[in-house]
Amino acid sequence: MKFFIVAIFCVLAADVLALVNPEKVYLVVNDNDPDSMSIAQTYCRLRDVPMENILVFSMPSSGFVSRKTYFEQVESPIIRKLIKKGAIKAIDTESKDAFGREIFIPSEINVDFLILCKGVPWQLVRSQQSPSGKKYSMQNTDAASVDSELSACFIPQKNFDFACKNPLFKNYKNDGLFKAAQILRVARLDGVSKSEIISALRRTVDAERNGLRGRVYIDQSKYSPLGDKWLEKVKLLMSEQYFDVSENPDRALFSYSERFDGVAVYFGWYTYGAYGYFKEKNMAFADGAIGWHIYSFSASQMRNPVFWSPTFVRLGAGATVGNVHEPFLSMTHHADLFIEALLDGKTAGEAAYASIPVLSWQNVFFGDPMYRPFLVSLEEQVESLEKGKFDKYSQYVVVRQMNKLMKTSSRSEAEAFAKRFIGNLPDDAILFKFFEMRLKDGNLPDALKYANMIFERDISEDASRISIFMGTACLLSFRKGEAAVLGMKFCERLLDADMDSDFGRHIAASARRISQINPGILPSERMKNLFEKVDRQIAEEKAAAEKRAAEKKASEKKSNKS
């Protein structure tokens, strides 16, 4: 105990930046999954991790395992191989605790991160009762994520019917604390398909090289003051970094009527599953995007694209988190602490452990634990622009620099800076920025000038860019005269967008609004056909809902009689 206290003290005194060492990163592969090894090898090549750090095991191919299977086929084999590799120094007591876990007494942990690749089970299913015969419940359960249970494998626990405290919580400035606290930090590379996982990885490495670029989106739900407080803090932190921030105060997700382009940071809650822009086949987040949607079972089904965690991986997120079972809000990752740690220069993996209050619980970190989204400063990004180096995300650097100049210098200087890049790089976001600003100024003629420039751009098949068109159309749909005429043109053009049928409802809503406010502006035959289609869909849905309600009422009446 005395040694442990001294070790903790020494770590706390060493407040220096300690990056994740690739030599001390290990990857776990399940040879029963054909994608597992390929993902591990790709990561090693991208991050200079030695190939010999790939650990191969034969595990169940299901994502769900019992606690007995977890101990015997997942945890114990991993710990034994890490000991054999010299990554962990520990005494094997050759005994087990009352739950069947092999007991090791570690003296040194030289694993910066353990990465579980697709194929490794992700969830320990709940037992019916504890070894003592006590029945488990939602609040007192031994259900947990494999990842979180592994993290706490060296923390002595009397039972598994609840979480244990995480010594790393709020301690992101104490870089070596995880070793002294004997925490095995775990990350996961997982998702519906190998191609989605590898694509997200490659884009994350690109994002680190260029610096995170894009916009911030906050989906408030007003479900609980605690969650809303976290998201408010994220909004403040990112605004202080001069990012554009869009906030949705409704419980529903950002709708098709709003722009949803260049998603670099997203936090939201509390919606069961992804829909809207999140489900569009042509939708992608910005390279290396970070964030998550707070939901209890977001990571419980990693092969089902409806669930939040696999959705974020598909969209290209470089760092996200999820829960395999009910975690309770206060025991999930704190979004504000995660962002604070990243802005302090920590890696995504370090930030994940600094923002979660408990271990041996339901939480999972997905993504590259070595990723540092803010490694490249805004000044360096602008310098790269000035040298003529740009791509489709460079426009967000322009907007961010605009925001900075408006706060630290003058609006005229900010606008002069941004105008230099219009027409010289992909510029939809820059044009929309000017369009919105002019609308707020009450300068409609100038606003329409920028709206027309947006209209002249290629709408493409990119759902992110299509959202700028849709956002412009919606804002114009509340206007009269020339603005309304242009708004209808946007709506008509959006009919060619390859999007989900629900997107058509929002086109129809904007076009109808224009015609109602401006009776002289008539929709085309194609638009009228869309009106009819939407009306039929709404009528069918209403009839189906009424039928379900009637059947439920009849069933309840029958049940009461019996």
Average pLDDT by stretches of 10, the chain with 562 residues: 37 50 98 98 98 98 94 97 97 90 94 98 82 58 93 85 92 87 97 98 98 97 84 97 95 93 95 91 97 94 95 98 95 97 97 97 98 98 96 98 98 98 97 98 98 92 94 98 98 94 95 97 97 96 94 84 71
Q: Which domain holds residue 133?
A: 2-367
Asked, for residue 42, whether it belongs to a domain, the answer is yes
Task: From residue 402, give the alpha-carbon distance in Å to each of 57, 373, 395, 409.
Answer: 52, 20, 11, 10
The pLDDT value given to residue 220: 87
Residue where one domain finishes, among candidates 326, 349, 367: 367
Asked, for residue 212, whether it belongs to a domain, the answer is yes
Q: By C-alpha distance, which of 288, 290, 271, 270 is closest to 279?
A: 271
Whether the Cβ atoms of residue 230 and residue 335 lie closer than 8 Å to each other: yes
* 422 Rama class: left (phi>0) / alpha (psi -120 to 50) / beta: beta
Q: By C-alpha distance, which of 85, 22, 62, 90 is closest to 146?
A: 62
The answer to whether residues 345 and 460 belong to one domain is: no
Residue where one domain finishes, among candidates 345, 367, 389: 367
If one counts the domains in the chain, the total is 2
> Residue 192 contacts by C-beta under 8 Å, 6 or more apart in sequence?
302, 303, 304, 305, 310, 313, 314
Q: By C-alpha distance, which of 427, 446, 135 is closest to 261?
A: 427
Question: Alpha carbon 213 to chain centroid distance?
Answer: 15
- The residues pairing with 124 across neighbouring beta strands, listed in sequence order, are 65, 144
The answer to whether residues 236 and 307 belong to one domain is: yes
Identify whether 270 is preceded by a cis peptide bond (ω within 30 of 0).
yes
- The residues pairing with 162 across neighbouring beta strands, listed in sequence order, are none
Q: By C-alpha distance, which of 160, 101, 158 is closest to 136?
A: 160
Residue where one domain finishes, among candidates 367, 401, 418: 367
Over the stretch 486-498, which tens digit does the pLDDT of each residue have?
Answer: 999 999 999 999 9
How close are the terminal C-alpha atoms of the chain, in Å?
A: 65
> Residue 211 contacts by C-beta under 8 Å, 6 or more apart in sequence?
373, 374, 375, 376, 377, 378, 380, 381, 397
The pLDDT value given to residue 506: 96
H or E stretch including 207? helix 194-210
The answer to whether residues 363 and 461 belong to one domain is: no
Over the stretch 64-100, which tens digit does the pLDDT of each residue have?
Answer: 999 999 999 999 999 999 999 999 999 999 999 888 8
Asked, for residue 520, whether it belongs to a domain, the answer is yes
Asked, for residue 559, whether it belongs to a domain, the answer is no
Amino acid letter at 338? F
